Chains A and B, each alone.
Chain A
Amino acid sequence: MSDAATSGAASRLARHLPGFLRRADPAVATAFACIVLLLAVGSLYSTSFLSPDYLLQQLKVASFLGVIATGMMLVILLGQIDLSVPWVVAAGAMMACAAAAHGPLGEVLAIPFGVLCGVAIGAVNGVGVAYLRIPSMIVTLATNAVAQGLMVVYTGGFSPQDSASAAMRWLATGNLLPGVPNAVVAWALIGAATVFTLTRTTFGRAVYAIGNRERAAYLSGVDTRRVVLVAFAVAGGLSAFGGVLLAGYASKAAQAMGDAYLLPAIAAVVLGGASILGGRGSYLGTVAGVILITLLQSILSVMQMPEAGRQITYGVVIVAMLLLYGRAPASR
């Protein structure tokens, strides 16, 4: 009743707005409003917060999360979830570094090999979800455990000694265009490809259709199982590529380096207005969510908040924002 009243008021208000604002998703708009709010709060703490250097640095840090969140978004649009991110990120990084240690040919193949390992793990997820019909939450947790086990056996439980190849370092820290970090360019390219795929191809349409109702998509002639398999494989590849970038940034891989990326990736997608039940969400929202989370993390570290406080703020902010606009409709 009150929902109907507010939406009525909102639609009356919307008629007076310019077209691009009228079409905007309220969730995406809220997320961008929160970004502006965070920047304002941050500039109170430190004047350098609004300097181009600092913002560009934030965008570079955001691009690692952005690449990983892109894969997560694909999977969430299907109405599934990928909990194997932590060790796919680590496996991508470790395998790329391991390949880089194998002479000049390894140097060249380091990045493709790391990504390929991620695609392989993602494909296992996809087979489990699409063909064996195992709930995605379960099968991705299991492959995460297997990936962790493989990496522990491979590294002997220590951080591997191999360092990142020059290409990986250049990709993560270099500047091809003056002033614009390569990592940001990579994220922009991946983002553009994702937007094109989701809005202009049958594959993208099928992803949204499956997220809404897989049964209906199947009856409309979509090979839903293959679409799900491909989406999971791509998501695994993107997670691993995020790991490759991270390894290039830190110039080596580390145990548990991906643990800090699972919650932020899911949170970024969901805060960007995508429905965790699938079928609804835009890439613009995910970009907003990624920037929002990166800024939040940055502000908390500028405020020199200890790890405990960061975790708490983080969880509370995510729950609070979801309560604002991520609630399921009332069933009765």
Chain B
Amino acid sequence: MSDWRYRMTEHRGTLLAFGIFVLMFVLYTSNHPAGLTANVVQTASNKGVLLAFIAMAQTLVVITAGIDLSVGMIFILTNCLASWLVVGTPAETALGIVLVLLAGLACGAVNGAIVIFGRLQPIVATIATGAVFFGLALLLRPHPGGGVNEAVADALTGKLFGVVPASLVTLAAVVLVVWVPFSRSRLGRTAYAAGSSEAAAYMSGLPVRRAKFAAYTLSGLLAAIGGLFLTFFTYTGEAAHASGNAYTLFSIAAVVLGGVSLYGGRGSVIGAIFGAFAFRTIGDLLFVFDFDPLWQPLFQGVVLLAAVSIGAFALVRVRNRLEWFG
């Protein structure tokens, strides 16, 4: 197989996600009453970036063949924390941001420690830690409230040079600072290898445990960045249980749409980002077509169900029935 064909197969999921997103976005803007203006793009990117961070967090764990059902709750917890800390003078704000990110890292590290060193199944372990994170969020914010440094918030959710949405630039920066070094490092390659076959990775002398731990921890960090951004958009902190659950669910949807294999070892954060954008645009399509907003949850559910069923077409090509059972 020639080099470019290998790369095409390797990135097929990501390219497909990009294609779906472009298609949906064109459909969205061409039917939007205001058309393709800087404001429409800014609003769309702000909503998309929020989900994109959570989807990135989910991807890191999914690559190691795990799952994190607490990402939504880390997101909510860091939102509540940020509504206390990211206020005041520039120095205080900066310290607050650092503390919020550290809190996210800590949440991810707790998940990682329980799953890897405690040897519990990720599904059960992260559902339980999610309950703890939500409890902490409720402690911090029994009632919605708090504030945020509005200058920073407006700068990060506004437009650069009047055209480019600042949130997109931040997303790109996070990809460059967190994902690119990780995926090219020994730990990142090991995370992929462990997701593909943990036994083989271990036999090859790779630091499997450290890599998985790093993936969970960085996942917490990315969820915390999402939480920070939620605070920048809403100016408040709120311990909303339904919202946390919805983001966990949407993160999995985005990951699936983004071509990341839930069995681990395949896919990339870039795919998940486009998956998140596509999922958000699909949800918003209803608005430009003037449907009742009540139909949005059903529409998103059906899209999700259809998206996960697409993978079933591979079954047609299976020659030996035993391959059904993995």
Q: Does B164 contact A (CB under 8 A)?
A: no
Least Cβ–Cβ distance between A30 and chain B, in angstroms: 16
Least Cβ–Cβ distance between A79 and chain B, in angstroms: 11
Q: B301: which of A142, A309, A311 is its contact (CB, 8 Å)? A: A142
Q: Mark A149-172, 1 if CB is under 8 A from B, else 0.
A: 110110011000000000000000
Q: Which of B121-177 contact A (CB under 8 A)?
A: 121, 123-125, 127-132, 134-139, 142
* A214: chain B residues within 8 A (beta carbon): 325
Q: B295: which of A153, A259, A277 is its contact (CB, 8 Å)? A: A153
Q: Which of B214-236 contact A (CB under 8 A)?
A: none
* Measured CA separation A139–B114 after assembly (Å): 26
A153 lies within 8 A of B298 (CB): yes
B315 lies within 8 A of A132 (CB): yes
Least Cβ–Cβ distance between B110 and chain A, in angstroms: 9
* A307: chain B residues within 8 A (beta carbon): 135, 138
Interface stretch, picked from B29-37, B83-91, B302-310, is B302-310
Number of A residues contacting the other chain (C-beta, 8 Å)?
59
A138 lies within 8 A of B252 (CB): yes
Q: Which of A25-54 contact B (CB under 8 A)?
A: none
Q: In the complex where A276-B121, A312-B135 touch, is A149 in contact with B130 (Cβ < 8 A)?
A: no
Q: Which of B12-53 contact A (CB under 8 A)?
A: none
* A322: chain B residues within 8 A (beta carbon): 118, 120, 124-125, 128
B325 lies within 8 A of A215 (CB): yes
B118 lies within 8 A of A323 (CB): yes
Q: Which residue of A lies closest to B120 (CB)?
A: A322
* Measured CA separation A145–B295 after assembly (Å): 12
B121 lies within 8 A of A328 (CB): yes
Q: Mark A209-240, 1 if CB is under 8 A from B, else 0.
A: 00000110011000010000000000000000
Q: B114: which of A266, A267, A311, A319 is its contact (CB, 8 Å)? A: A319
Q: Does A192 contact B (CB under 8 A)?
A: no
Number of B residues contacting the other chain (C-beta, 8 Å)?
55
Q: Does A330 contact B (CB under 8 A)?
A: yes
A152, A314, A315, A329 pick with most chain B CB within 10 angstroms: A315
Q: Which residue of B lies closest to A255 (CB)?
A: B242
* A267: chain B residues within 8 A (beta carbon): 124, 128
Q: Mark A117-156, 1 if CB is under 8 A from B, else 0.
A: 0000000000010001111011101111111111011001
B325 lies within 8 A of A315 (CB): no
* B321: chain A residues within 8 A (beta carbon): 218
B297 lies within 8 A of A315 (CB): no
Q: Does A189 contact B (CB under 8 A)?
A: no
Least Cβ–Cβ distance between B231 and chain A, in angstroms: 19
Q: In the complex where A132-B309, A311-B131 touch, is A323 in contact with B120 (Cβ < 8 A)?
A: yes
* A139: chain B residues within 8 A (beta carbon): 305, 308
Q: Does B1 contact A (CB under 8 A)?
A: no
Q: Which of A259-315 contact B (CB under 8 A)?
A: 259, 262-263, 266-267, 270, 276-277, 306-315
* B297: chain A residues within 8 A (beta carbon): 145, 148-149, 152-153
Q: In the complex where A214-B325, A319-B114, A327-B120 touch, is A311 in contact with B134 (Cβ < 8 A)?
A: yes
Q: Does A56 contact B (CB under 8 A)?
A: no
* A331: chain B residues within 8 A (beta carbon): 198-199, 202
Q: In the complex where A322-B125, A326-B120, A328-B120 touch, is A149 in contact with B324 (Cβ < 8 A)?
A: no
Least Cβ–Cβ distance between B287 and chain A, in angstroms: 16
Q: Mark B275-312, 1 if CB is under 8 A from A, else 0.
A: 00000000000000000001111111110110011011
6 residue pairs, one from A and one from B, having the closest CB atoms: A149-B298, A311-B135, A145-B301, A312-B135, A308-B138, A315-B132
Given contacts A143-B301, A224-B325, A311-B138, 18 further A-B contacts (CB under 8 A): A81-B123, A132-B309, A134-B312, A138-B256, A142-B305, A142-B308, A146-B301, A147-B301, A149-B296, A153-B297, A214-B325, A218-B322, A256-B242, A306-B138, A322-B125, A322-B128, A323-B120, A326-B124
Interface residues of chain B, those whose CB is within 8 Å of chain A, are 67, 114, 118-121, 123-125, 127-132, 134-139, 142, 198-199, 202, 241-242, 245, 249, 252-253, 256, 262-263, 294-302, 304-305, 308-309, 311-312, 315, 321-322, 324-326
